[in-house]
């Protein structure tokens, strides 16, 4: 291998690493729920889901690879310095102690523990409380010194989980539990757009800002420093990870769609996969799946706590890394006790509010070489996008503002959850006009 280059084999393994980072066990649950709800509208629904659950995370990784070592804070600062400080904090809290980390505890409980408890124990809050103490206690201890223990668990458990999952999906493909049923009301009118918004729940597009930097560091560790080469490897590795995620998501969605006749509509994907694995493999198969998912969730939990604690410690060094780990872990443990369905429900308004702004930032970062120093484009596109998306998020949370009626009347696609698209384009046009005028004034003054 020449200096400054990287072989396809090494790129392939970086792609597998990226797949493993994106594919937390929590990602199992959303395609299953989508499949059950979408029914005969599965194809347009899963296409929409793949755009936000796979396509946008891929673009996020590519954007970071092309951004010459910029992180989420430096990219956000192009909008405004205050936005550059606040938005990364919101992102880290979202993929950290507010939603993603607590979800690792509830998913592992729903799949790994709850199926083996009596109905009385399931109904008791104490069983989840005890589990969360153990799960997040281990998370805390290993997050203090993650090192090789977490890497070893991840390298062993991720392949085991994928092997079990592949066997389960093959069983559901060749011996489905039933026929695909009619869609629920939410998927009858616009299944593509509903699936598009469901993909928000994976949070992988948000995570791509952080995971992209991990990939860049892995590439540089191979002796590659050329920005062009880094961008090329990021793209190839991202495509490998995206292909794996896409195959798994399609298989899970089909499994969910064919499970309704056998198990009925269940309230979350954790319950769905537990029931499907029990019917296809019996108790022994469910037990193996449960152990693999518990450890996979544990490695995800530790990784996210480490990432969040490191970021906040860098932001405010007066509080030690260990104190951040303790605080983040305690908050995550407390929130996990509200239950998986409730955590998903609480996360929807937040994700509806911030996801469009993340999408706009990713697209602008991809076109950054063309935009040069036209930061007004960032400011206006994100501002107008944010106004609409925040109103949508508040509406999703049950706060009906008067302006939402105006948006519903005049904004195309607003009723489909995509009302931010036109304002984003208008913001780009306004920003371009302003930055062009500023450049003209600068030249005249010279």
Tokens of 382: 């994100």
Q: What is the pLDDT of residue 421?
A: 95
206 contacts 355 by C-beta, under 8 angstroms: yes
The torsion defined by the Cα of 52, 346, 300 and 271, in degrees rounded to 10, comes to: -90
* Whole-number Cα distances in Å, 95 to 29, 69, 177, 207, 367: 16, 21, 34, 7, 26
Q: How far apart are CA 420 and CA 136, in angstroms?
A: 38
Q: What is the pLDDT of residue 27?
A: 83
How far is C-alpha 111 from the geometric centre of its chain's CA atoms? 20
DSSP state of 78: T
Phi, psi of 24 (to 5 degrees): -75, 160
Q: How far apart are CA 83 and CA 106, in angstroms?
A: 32
How many CB atoms neighbour CB 413 within 10 A? 13
What pLDDT digit, counting tens, does each position of 193-245 carry? Answer: 999 999 999 999 998 888 888 888 888 888 887 888 888 888 999 999 999 99
Cβ within 8 Å of residue 27, ≥6 positions away = 53, 202, 204, 245, 248, 249
pLDDT (tens, 9 = 90+) of the chain, 446 residues, equals 444 678 888 888 888 888 888 887 668 899 999 999 999 999 999 999 999 999 999 999 988 888 766 788 889 999 999 999 999 999 999 999 999 999 999 999 988 898 888 887 776 788 999 999 999 999 999 898 866 655 666 666 677 778 888 888 999 999 999 999 999 998 998 999 999 999 999 999 998 888 888 888 888 888 887 888 888 888 999 999 999 999 999 999 999 999 999 999 998 898 899 899 989 988 887 888 888 888 888 888 988 998 899 999 999 999 999 999 999 999 999 999 999 889 999 999 999 999 999 999 999 998 887 877 788 999 999 999 999 999 999 999 988 888 988 998 999 999 888 999 999 999 999 999 998 876 655 445 55
Q: How far apart are CA 59 and CA 65, in angstroms?
A: 10
Q: How far apart are CA 125 and CA 114, in angstroms?
A: 12
Domains annotated for the chain, with CATH where assigned, are: 8-337 (1.20.1740.10), 348-446 (no CATH)
Tokens of 114: 């709850």
Q: What is the pLDDT of residue 442?
A: 47
Q: What is the pLDDT of residue 216?
A: 85
Tokens of 1: 């291998």
What pLDDT digit, counting tens, does each position of 303-325 carry? Answer: 899 889 999 999 999 999 999 99
């Amino acid at each position: 291998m020449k200096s400054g280059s990287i072989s396809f084999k090494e790129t392939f393994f970086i792609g597998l690493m990226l797949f493993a980072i994106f594919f937390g066990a929590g990602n199992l649950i959303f395609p299953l729920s989508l499949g059950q709800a979408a029914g005969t509208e599965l194809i347009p629904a899963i296409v929409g889901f793949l755009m936000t659950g796979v396509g946008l995370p891929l673009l996020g990784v590519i954007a970071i690879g092309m951004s010459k070592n910029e992180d989420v804070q430096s990219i956000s600062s192009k909008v405004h310095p205050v936005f550059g400080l606040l938005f990364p904090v919101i992102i880290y809290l979202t993929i950290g102690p507010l939603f993603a980390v607590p979800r690792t505890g509830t998913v592992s409980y729903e799949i790994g523990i709850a199926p083996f408890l009596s109905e009385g124990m399931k109904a008791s809050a104490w069983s989840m409380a005890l589990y969360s103490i153990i799960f997040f206690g281990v998370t805390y201890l290993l997050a203090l010194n993650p090192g090789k223990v977490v890497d070893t668990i991840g390298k062993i458990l991720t392949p085991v989980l994928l092997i079990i999952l592949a066997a389960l999906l093959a069983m559901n493909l060749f011996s489905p539990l039933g026929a695909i049923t009619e869609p629920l009301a939410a998927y009858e009118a616009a299944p593509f757009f509903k699936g598009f918004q469901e993909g928000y729940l994976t949070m992988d597009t948000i995570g791509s800002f952080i995971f992209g930097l991990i990939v860049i560091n892995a590439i540089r560790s191979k002796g590659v420093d050329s920005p062009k080469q880094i961008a090329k490897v990021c793209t190839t590795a991202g495509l490998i990870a995206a292909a794996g995620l896409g195959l798994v998501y399609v298989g899970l969605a089909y499994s969910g769609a064919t499970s309704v006749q056998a198990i009925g509509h269940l309230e979350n994907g954790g319950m769905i996969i537990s029931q499907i694995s029990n019917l296809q493999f019996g108790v022994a198969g469910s037990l193996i799946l449960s152990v693999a998912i518990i450890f996979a969730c544990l490695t995800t939990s530790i990784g996210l706590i480490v990432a969040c604690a490191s970021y906040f410690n860098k932001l405010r060094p007066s509080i030690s890394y260990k104190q951040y780990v303790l605080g983040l872990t305690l908050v995550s443990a407390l929130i996990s006790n509200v239950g998986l369905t409730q955590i998903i429900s609480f996360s929807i308004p937040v994700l509806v509010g911030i996801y469009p702004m993340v999408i706009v930032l990713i697209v602008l970062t991809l076109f950054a070489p063309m935009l040069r120093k036209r930061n007004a484009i960032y400011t206006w596109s994100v501002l107008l996008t944010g106004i609409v998306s925040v109103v949508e998020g508040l509406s999703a949370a049950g706060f009906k503002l008067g302006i939402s009626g105006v948006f519903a009347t005049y904004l195309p696609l607003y009723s489909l959850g995509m009302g931010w698209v036109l304002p984003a384009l208008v913001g780009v046009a306004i920003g371009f006009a302003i930055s062009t005028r500023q450049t003209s004034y600068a030249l005249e003054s010279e």
